[in-house]
């Protein structure tokens, strides 16, 4: 904050806004944008890993493993995202605390479930009540990341499963005819070629993941939606040095520009990835590139 911000009531318009936009809560708002980008940077590869494992399980020849993979894809995709987020976060948190309770509080003589209340010993709480606020925020953030990864991993698994089946069968048979094992065929023939079929679906999934980040607000994370609502609401001189009317429209307009800009950048990057992947492939995109180069 600037030195002239000590008396907000005496400031002109430009200086008033320069002080208003550099308050501590506004820096929390700015940091929340980085929090969303960090969520995407961590969740995307983790969800892709879940999806790859789910797709491998779904196509496995061992029936129970195949059933498990297909059940994961069907169940998670069939539950509304909001319902899954609200249920899974609570269930996972209680499961972790229950496990710690069994280990750390074996002498506990009270019931864990007391009516509708879930009560464990203080040592089993996650995080501990004495932990710093940053620990609570980090724990909540990574619970959210894991939940996002589980949900979008199921959609990624469905995309990758379809992409694996789209790779022409004669190419796999040719690899087997040359003496390659099933593992070699999978890693050296199937996996490298499936990405060109998977990328359109994964691109759509990436866009959906970007649009789903406001769900952090429902999980208790102070994200950009939380701060836009808090800062944009009407403020009176009784509660703040910078009173203003209902400015939520302007704050949410900033979010609109942010999401549109980010999705546009994503579209450009994904389009270039598609061009790179289709190079030399026996696909429509590959044929177009060959004709253009001729």
Report residue 196 as tokens.
């060109």
The C-alpha atoms of residue 177 and residue 233 are separated, in whole angstroms, by 68
At residue 1 the predicted structure's pLDDT band, cuts being 50, 70 and 90, is: low
Where b means 16+ CB within 10 Å and e means fewer, 256-281 reads eeebeebeeebeeebeeebeebbeeb
The C-alpha atoms of residue 182 and residue 61 are separated, in whole angstroms, by 12
Average pLDDT over residues 16-41: 90
- Tell me which of 141-155, 201-215, 225-239 is least confident: 225-239
What digits encode the pLDDT tens for the residues 33-48?
A: 999 999 999 999 999 9
Whole-structure pTM value? 0.86
- In this structure, are residues 234 and 246 in contact, taking their beta carbons and an 8 Å threshold? yes
Average pLDDT of every residue of the chain: 87
| Domain at 3-293: CATH code | 1.10.3720.10
What digits encode the pLDDT tens for the residues 244-255?
A: 889 999 999 999
Q: Which residue has the higher pLDDT, 240 or 26?
A: 26
What digits encode the pLDDT tens for the residues 102-153?
A: 888 888 888 888 877 888 888 888 888 788 888 888 888 888 899 999 999 9
At residue 30 the predicted structure's pLDDT band, cuts being 50, 70 and 90, is: very high
- Whole-angstrom CA distances from 213 to 13, 17, 68, 119, 254 are 34, 29, 28, 31, 15
Structural domain spans, the chain: 3-293
285: pLDDT strictly greater than 60:
no
Reference 141, options 262, 255, 38; nearest CA is: 38
The C-alpha atoms of residue 145 and residue 107 are separated, in whole angstroms, by 34
Question: In angstroms, how far is the first alpha carbon of the chain from the final one?
Answer: 61
- In this structure, are residues 100 and 124 in contact, taking their beta carbons and an 8 Å threshold? yes
Report residue 16 as tokens.
């008033």
The DSSP code sequence of the chain is: --GGGG-GGG--HHHHHHHHTTSHHHHHHHHHHHHHHHHHHHHHHHHHHHHHHHHHHHT-SSHHHHHHHHHHHHHHHHS-HHHHHHHHHHHHHHHHHHHHHHHH-TT--S-SEETTEE---GGG-SS-TTS-HHHHHHHHHHHHHHHHHHHHHHHHHHHHHHHHHHS-HHHHHHHHHTT--HHHHIIIIIHHHHHHHHHHHHHHHHHHHHHHGGGGGGGT---HHHHHHHHHS-B-TTT-SS-B---HHHHHHHHHHHHHHHHHHHHHHHHHHHHHHHTT-SSHHHHHHHHHH-
The C-alpha atoms of residue 68 and residue 58 are separated, in whole angstroms, by 7
pLDDT for 58 equals: 95
pLDDT for 165 equals: 92
- Whole-angstrom CA distances from 262 to 103, 244, 248 are 45, 29, 21
């Amino acid at each position: 904050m600037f030195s002239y911000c000590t008396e907000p009531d005496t400031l002109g318009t430009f200086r008033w806004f320069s002080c208003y936009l550099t308050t501590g809560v506004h820096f929390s708002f700015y940091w929340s944008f980085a929090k969303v980008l960090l969520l995407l940077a961590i969740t995307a590869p983790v969800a892709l890993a879940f999806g790859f494992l789910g797709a491998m399980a779904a196509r496995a020849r061992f029936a129970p493993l195949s059933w498990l993979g297909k059940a994961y894809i069907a169940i998670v995709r069939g539950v509304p995202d909001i319902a899954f987020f609200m249920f899974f976060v609570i269930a996972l948190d209680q499961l972790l605390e229950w496990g710690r309770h069994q280990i750390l509080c074996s002498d506990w003589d009270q019931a864990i479930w007391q009516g509708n209340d879930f009560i464990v010993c203080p040592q089993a709480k996650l995080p501990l009540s004495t932990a710093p606020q940053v620990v609570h925020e980090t724990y909540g953030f990574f619970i959210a990341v894991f939940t996002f990864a589980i949900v979008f991993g199921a959609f990624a698994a469905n995309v990758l499963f379809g992409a694996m089946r789209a790779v022409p069968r004669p190419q796999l048979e040719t690899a087997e005819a040359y003496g390659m094992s099933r593992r070699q065929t999978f890693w050296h023939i199937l996996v490298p070629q499936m990405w060109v079929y998977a990328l359109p679906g994964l691109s759509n999934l990436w866009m959906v993941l970007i649009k789903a980040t406001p769900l952090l607000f429902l999980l208790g994370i102070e994200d950009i939606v939380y701060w836009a609502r808090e800062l944009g609401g009407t403020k009176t001189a009784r509660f703040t040095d910078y009173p203003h009317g209902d400015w939520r429209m302007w704050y949410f307009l900033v979010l609109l520009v942010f999401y549109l800009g980010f999705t546009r950048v994503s579209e450009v990057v994904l389009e270039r990835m598609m061009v790179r992947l289709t190079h030399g492939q026996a696909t429509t995109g590959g044929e177009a590139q060959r004709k253009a180069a001729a």
